[in-house]
Amino acid sequence: MAYSLEKDLFGDEVLTKHGGVSERLLDLYIGRLKKLFPHVATPRLIRNTRNAPLYFLIWAGPNKLGLKGADYILSQGEKLPRR
């Protein structure tokens, strides 16, 4: 769960955000992909121009050579200089 409703000292409901949710969701998603595909590339975090996280880019497929290519391409993206 990403959020939960809890009651405060006065009985009012307060929405609480739990930490580490994106990492847990990513682990679950990667686990599911690994059940479907024999080869899953290391996920790469994609950020916007303000350095805020947008999404994780992931490759999964049946071919080991495809994994090698995907890992190479994804690692190149992280080496691009910031503008």
Q: pLDDT confidence of 21, banded at 50, 70, 90? A: confident
Rounded distance between C-alpha atoms, residue 66 and residue 78, angstroms: 19
If one counts the domains in the chain, the total is 1
Residue 83 lies in a domain: no
Do the domain assignments include residue 62? yes
Residue 80: CB atoms within 10 A of its CB come to: 7
Is residue 43 situated within a structural domain?
A: yes
Mean pLDDT of the chain: 85
The 10 Å CB-count burial string (b at 16+, else e) for 42-58 is: ebbeeeeeeeeeeeeeb
Rounded average pLDDT over 15-22: 84
User: Is the residue at 69 inside a domain?
Assistant: yes
Domain coverage including residue 46: 3-78
